[in-house]
Chains A and B, each alone.
Chain A
């Protein structure tokens, strides 16, 4: 397996749940989400790819959107977690904890190595 494609492969399928998780507290607009993800350097997010992701999750009904005026007067599209989205985050959380524990124990993190 080419190691340079590794980060991309690992990110795939996880990023969207990170986006959903960032929406748990409150609705956010795209730029805000991009900023929050950018702050986590390990995620290596290409900013522009967040928007197709949001668009798809909207079509899948995981997020809902509404336009809201900024103080500057230009409208922003705000993304809000739908009920299905909340469920998806909760499910991912469970899957991820089990997955991480299994991988950690195999690659020798957390003293679980035999």
Chain B
């Protein structure tokens, strides 16, 4: 024999629970209500000869929906923190800092998602992003023309060098020229690689603590209280 009003009692209880949990995000609300519903169902299944009183006693043991909802809100961290997460602004800053440096850097400084240190890195390494190439490229070429220099060699009939004169960079010792060439290549590689590396670095920093920094700026958010913090709140 089952309780005459067992299902009804449970139905009313679940409705009250649903109302009490109204402030909890739907995902968690469903999880908690679902678990409690199956808990009640299993307990009822265990009752050999269920009466209305049994069901009522069971529901009393499960507890006041208001108390359960309070327990759900007590911990807080599981409730998604209200406030912005990183998004369009940060992605735009990441993409534009290498490619459209002035705009990207402005966005970078507008976003609270990075520390000042990271913003400085994004701004100064390398300054200008890929736009540097447009300005530095021609300058480097002009510079190499200016210092290029030339050599004049005269030979006699047998091909023996009788006169050799070099001007400009060509007159420098060979090792200086080699060093300059290597430095030029390294510089070029850095200009090509650094903007991408810095963007990757900024993206990593964003994923690590971007949201926390945004929240920190937008005011205190719920943080998971540790055991010691929690016990410290006891009167």
Contacts and interface: CB of A to CB of B under 8 A. Distances in A.
Interface of A: 1, 9-10, 12-13, 17, 30-31, 34, 46-49, 51-56, 58-60, 74, 76-77, 88, 91-92, 95, 99
Given A30-B39, A60-B78, A76-B38, A51 B68 contact: yes
Contact of A95 (B35, B42, B72, B227): B227
Interface of B: 17, 28, 31-32, 35-36, 38-39, 42-43, 61-65, 67-69, 71-72, 74-75, 77-78, 224, 227-228, 230-231, 234-235
Please classify the interface of chain B as helix (H, G, I), strand (E, B), loop, or mixed, using the class held by over half of its residues. Answer: helix
Contact of B72 (A9, A52, A76, A91): A52
Contact of A47 (B32, B62, B75): B62
A56 B68 contact: no
B227 A91 contact: yes
Closest 8 interchain pairs by CB? A59-B78, A52-B72, A48-B63, A46-B63, A56-B75, A49-B71, A13-B230, A48-B62
Nearest to B43: A31
A58 B78 CA distance: 8
Contacts of B39: 30-31, 34, 47-48, 51
Given A46-B67, A48-B63, A55-B78, A1 B235 contact: yes
Contacts of B42: 31
Contacts, number: 87
Given A10-B234, A30-B35, A92-B227, 10 more contacts: A9-B235, A12-B230, A12-B234, A13-B230, A31-B39, A48-B67, A49-B71, A51-B35, A55-B31, A60-B77
A74 to B, nearest CB: 8
A56 B78 contact: yes
Nearest to B24: A52
A9 B234 contact: yes
A12 B225 CA distance: 12
